[in-house]
């Protein structure tokens, strides 16, 4: 008798912040759509998992209970797992990513000081994880409406994975797609006129999703920094993993009125 393969988990980094709670709530739709468990992970020092450092262990248990309660309050049919994992936040989440369909991290924007703390964790996980990584901006306008799902489009071998996740996110969240045609001189270069042909199979698969092509000749981060469109989520490839902080944006709103957006880094 064949048994169905166990669904991979959706992992969320928990640290006691409101941003982490919002990330856990955002991740519920991912878990429900995959019929997968939602795993809430709190990183703790090694000694806390060995029974020592009582305050650290108590704090971890408290934050996990709060995150679990926030998820349960949504009333969605999702199985929740809570775990204290020894190590640094980035180390714990990268290790968890080996058995995950997605890792989710909360953010309220990355300023000059926060960049060294939050940014270093997000950058490390985005670069080192074995699965897609979502860094969710959960403050202000970025969290109010779905906005566009902006998706990188090029002719690289890994771009199909980016498009697959981009269209899936748009369908899951009832959002339109802004297709960023990225010109990369040499490998992966794609002319604007070929965007429609590149997107054709995906548009046919998801006929109810509105897609608007947009030239992004200088790359996704540059485009997202200056666009006046309201972007809810940017879906990029691993080549843009080192630009996570720039895409998420600063803590304070820019003079242009754009604060930044959430980003999903897809490994090819």
Cβ contacts of residue 78 below 8 Å, gap of 6+?
28, 31, 32, 37, 38, 71
Q: Lowest-confidence range among 101-110, 149-158, 183-192, 221-230?
A: 183-192
Phi, psi of 30 (to 5 degrees): -65, -45
Q: What is the pLDDT of residues 127-151, one digit of tens each?
A: 899 999 999 987 755 455 679 999 9
CA distance linking residue 128 with residue 62, whole number of Å: 28
Distance CA 261, CA 174 (A): 17
Please indicate whether residue 268 or residue 161 has the higher confidence score (pLDDT). 161
Distances (CA, A) of 63 to 4, 50, 83, 112, 264: 33, 19, 11, 26, 25
Q: pTM of the entire structure?
A: 0.88
**Mean of per-residue pLDDT scores for the chain:** 84
3-state SS track over 47-91: HHHCCCCHHHHHHHHHHHHHHHHHHHCCCCCCCEEEEEEECCHHH
CA distance 220 to 201: 22
Could you tell me if 9 and 38 are in contact, meaning their C-beta atoms sit under 8 angstroms apart? yes
CA pair distance 60, 179, nearest whole angstrom: 40
What are the chain's domains? Answer: 9-136 (3.40.50.620), 148-265 (3.40.50.12370)
d(CA 99, CA 13): 14
Say yes or no to pLDDT of 79 above 50: yes
pLDDT in tens, 207-226: 999 999 888 888 899 999 98
Q: Rounded CA gap, 220 and 233, in Å?
A: 12
């Amino acid at each position: 008798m064949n048994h169905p393969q166990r669904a991979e988990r959706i992992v969320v980094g928990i640290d006691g912040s409101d941003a982490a709670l919002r990330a856990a709530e955002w991740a519920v739709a991912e878990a429900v759509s995959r019929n997968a468990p939602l795993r809430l992970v709190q990183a703790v020092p090694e000694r806390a998992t060995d029974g020592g450092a009582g305050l650290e262990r108590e704090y971890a248990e408290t934050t996990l209970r709060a995150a679990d309660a926030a998820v349960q309050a949504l009333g969605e049919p999702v199985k929740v797992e809570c775990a204290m994992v020894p190590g640094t936040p980035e180390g714990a989440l990268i290790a968890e990513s080996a058995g995950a369909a997605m890792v989710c991290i909360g953010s309220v924007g990355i300023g000059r000081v926060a960049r060294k703390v939050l940014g270093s964790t997000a950058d490390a996980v985005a670069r080192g994880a074995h699965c897609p990584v979502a860094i969710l901006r959960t403050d202000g306008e970025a969290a109010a409406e779905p906005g566009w799902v902006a998706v990188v489009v090029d002719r690289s071998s890994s771009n199909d994975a980016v498009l697959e996740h981009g269209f899936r996110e748009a369908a899951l969240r009832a959002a339109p797609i802004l297709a960023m045609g990225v010109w990369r001189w040499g490998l992966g270069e794609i002319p604007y006129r070929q965007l429609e042909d590149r997107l054709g199979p995906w548009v046919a698969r998801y006929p109810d999703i509105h897609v608007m092509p947009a030239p992004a000749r200088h790359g996704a981060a540059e485009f997202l920094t200056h666009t006046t469109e309201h972007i809810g989520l940017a879906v990029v490839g691993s080549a843009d993993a080192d630009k996570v902080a720039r895409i998420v944006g600063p803590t304070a709103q820019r003079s242009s009125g754009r604060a930044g957006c959430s980003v999903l880094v897809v490994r090819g």
